Amino acid sequence: MGSRLTIDVWADVLCPWCYLGEQRLGVAIGKSPHAADIDLRIHTFELDPTAPTTGTPLLEMLAKKLGVPTAKAREIEEGMVRLATAEGLPYEMDRLFANTFDMLRLVQLGNAYGLGWDYLRAMQAEMFGGNAGIYQHPTLVRLGEELGLPGAEIRDVLATDRYADEVRADHNAAIRLGARGVPFTVLGNRLGIPGAVSTVQYAAAIDQAWEQTNATR
């Protein structure tokens, strides 16, 4: 039997490329002959610490950030819609943009229960599906409880600064590894993939990392 392969992924809830990349990686893992021997670990990476705590229309924010008309921002997002649709994912352009620090702290809580990846994906499904309430505590509590997390503990995290240090530590670890954005994926502690790649490329990387991990056995 070979060694287990660890795949570490850094992501932010609001990152559309993370949303796509995670889906592709998940498919690649599921199709891998080594799927049962792969440990997938999710790490948090806050893309925009200055994002407002109250929701702002995404297209309005994107147009301002890129210095383009709103029509151009919509055109850019339409391209993301096509990519998401090809992956079988919902993707609503007219969604809200806001700070995700609380969400990332909850992903860390999820990690403590072995559910960080699932919690992140559940948040993204609601966000990119267009749920305007995704940033609100009742929605975050509901999503966690549906995964089996204790509602009281979710509420406690949201009412305090628990896991703030873990979010910052994850971010700093990614920077030390050379990440300048997300998604950022590291396979077998040696093979890094910046950005989202195709399912085929993720599958090839898994095979390569598996061979490297077991080469010295």
pLDDT at 214 over 90: no
- What average pLDDT is seen over the chain? 96
Domain range for 63: 56-97
**39 pLDDT higher than 60:** yes
Q: Write down which residue in 97, 119, 154 finishes a domain.
A: 97
Where does a domain end: 41, 75, 97?
97
| Structural contact between residues 45 and 184, judged by C-beta atoms closer than 8 angstroms | yes
How many domains does the chain divide into? Answer: 2
Q: What pLDDT is recorded for position 27?
A: 98
Residue 1 has pLDDT above 60, yes or no: no
Whether 129 and 177 map to the same domain: the answer is yes
CB atoms within 10 A of CB 110: 24
Does one domain contain both 93 and 128?
no
Tell me: the pLDDT tens digits for 43-72? 999 999 999 998 999 999 999 999 999 999
Query: Does 171 lie in the same domain as 107?
Result: yes
Grade residue 2 by pLDDT with cuts at 50, 70 and 90: low
Query: Does residue 130 sit in the same domain as residue 82?
Result: no
**Residues 92, 124 within the same domain:** no
As given in the structure block, the two tokens for residue 217 are: 């056995």
Tell me what pLDDT residue 145 has.
98
Please check whether residues 148 and 202 belong to one and the same domain: yes
Same domain, 73 and 148: no
In the prediction, which pLDDT does 216 show?
57
Per-residue pLDDT reduced to its tens digit, 75-124: 999 999 999 999 999 999 999 999 999 999 999 999 999 999 999 999 99
142-195 residue pLDDT tens: 999 999 999 999 999 999 999 999 999 999 999 999 999 999 999 999 999 999
Are 142 and 44 in the same domain? yes
Tens of pLDDT, residues 22-33: 999 999 999 999
What is the per-residue DSSP string for 37-86? GEEEEEEE--S-TT--SS-EEHHHHHHHHHT--HHHHHHHHHHHHHHHHH
